Amino acid sequence: MLLWSLSRLPDLSLAWRLLQASSSAGHRADGLSLSGPFLACQQRGLHAEGAELLLERLAWGGAMSAAAVAAASALFAEIGDAARALEVLEAAAKHGLMNGVSQQVWVACGGAPGDLPPSRIASVELGESYAKELRLLQHVLETAHRGDVASVCAAVESFGEGTLPGTRHWLKVAGGPKSEVLEEVARRAPIGGVAVEVGTYCGYSSARFAAARAARGQGRATAGRAPSIVTVEVDLAHAVIARNVLMFAGVAHEVETLVGHSEDVLPWLAERMREKALAPCIDFAFLDQRGSRYTADLASLEQPGCLKAGAIILADNVLKPGAPLFLWNVSRVGGGFKTEVKSLSEFAMSEVEDWMTISTYHPEERDEGPPPAPPQSVRALEWKAEQMRARAHQPDYGGSGIGFSEWAKFAEEMRHELQSIGLAQDVRTPFRAAPRAQLAPR
């Protein structure tokens, strides 16, 4: 929190000094802590300083260093400093920190093909920070085809389905049946605007959106034109891994990745759009962060007038762990949205039900004035969902987490309680759990 506060000051020198003192004392800042300084660099156009931050503070060894090197060198290349990008890559090669994405940057920066440093897959220790996400990146680099979005997304799904089940670790991507909804909504959204995703994680859904929009002729990132997708990620380490995945898939030029808390990034993004006279320009938004943030984040896009009439808002995990307050807001009369709820199985948890909501924006049907206060029953369910969400992250910090059977029971209870207070009465495509005999043992 102190580092975040110092990163808000006009002079960033105190933030840099705190990072240096922390490092000298043997403390390593994680991706969440570093998101504040990196956001400050992004918002102030200090892109070279942001790239150096990745190299100095996130490249702490092994696979994470290789990912940080690839992302940092690509950032140098994007701001036109190919010489610095090649210098970084040459130094990385001497320490065996070149991965397949770094090789792409080398070639893009004009590095001699004959001098192309060899790539190396660094080992990942199961107990190290971000081990799950780094193993996912390695799996993509080893099994997918460079420049093939479908192949990259299939590799992400195969990792989540074949590697993690039974470990109590959950790969939070909208894969499997949910991916069909992602692509359906991307096709249905109005043409010509910007897509905003909140919750990049490892870049899976961003890659799918980029491919779907390109199929409709919506790819806009040619010379002098901005990317058609903006994605927001709170954890700098996740953002770095996502940039590696997107570069390997060949769609990084279509996706701008902003780092920081959505409550800090989205108002700034909306102001940037207004300054460029682009509002309203958002035709599609995907909410895939903490469900308790959905309502506030949607308001950050709607209230400044950034949403186009007819824009589609897709939200994941509305049942599991749940987003009761958001569901109430986009379902109520006078809220300005028409919402359908889709029931389907959670990715890599075939026996667990989840909901995705598809809300179409109709500003002419929105009541004037502030929205009414939600019923106490909705607030009680919101608290219940937040407690479950907190437990779901425990395996990442050495805790026990939640088993699949407990998830299934929780989702069933949440469905009953939401419908008992009048929400999601007409869920489309009712969920059907796989027969127990077909379920893999957990």
Predicted confidence (pLDDT) per residue in 379-394, tens digit: 999 999 999 998 887 6
Residues forming beta bridges with residue 10, ordered by sequence position:
none
With cut-offs at 50, 70 and 90, classify the pLDDT of residue 42. very high
The answer on pLDDT for 48 being more than 80 is yes
The answer on pLDDT for 436 being more than 60 is no
- By percentage, how much of the chain surpasses pLDDT 90? 72
With cut-offs at 50, 70 and 90, classify the pLDDT of residue 370. confident
**Spatial distance between the Cα atoms of 102 and 368, rounded to a whole number of angstroms:** 52
**H or E element: which one contains 210?**
helix 204-215
With cut-offs at 50, 70 and 90, classify the pLDDT of residue 432. low
The predicted pLDDT at position 224 comes to 47
Domains of the chain by residue range:
2-122, 177-431
- Provide the terminal-to-terminal Cα distance of the chain, rounded to the nearest Å: 38
Q: Classify residue 318 by its DSSP letter.
A: I
> What's the pLDDT tens digit per position in 162-187?
765 455 567 889 999 999 999 999 88
Residue 88 or 279, more confident: 88
The answer on pLDDT for 137 being more than 50 is yes
With cut-offs at 50, 70 and 90, classify the pLDDT of residue 434. low
The predicted pLDDT at position 441 comes to 32
The predicted pLDDT at position 397 comes to 56
Distances (CA, A) of 51 to 163, 226, 345: 32, 20, 39
Q: Are 131 and 115 in contact (CB under 8 A)?
A: no
Give the mean model confidence (pLDDT) for residues 305-324: 96
Q: What class is the 177-431 domain?
A: alpha beta
The predicted pLDDT at position 164 comes to 57
Residues forming beta bridges with residue 282, ordered by sequence position:
194, 307
Q: Which of 294, 316, 289, 195 is nearest to 235 (CA)?
A: 289
- By percentage, how much of the chain surpasses pLDDT 70? 92
Distances (CA, A) of 120 to 93, 139, 240: 9, 13, 18
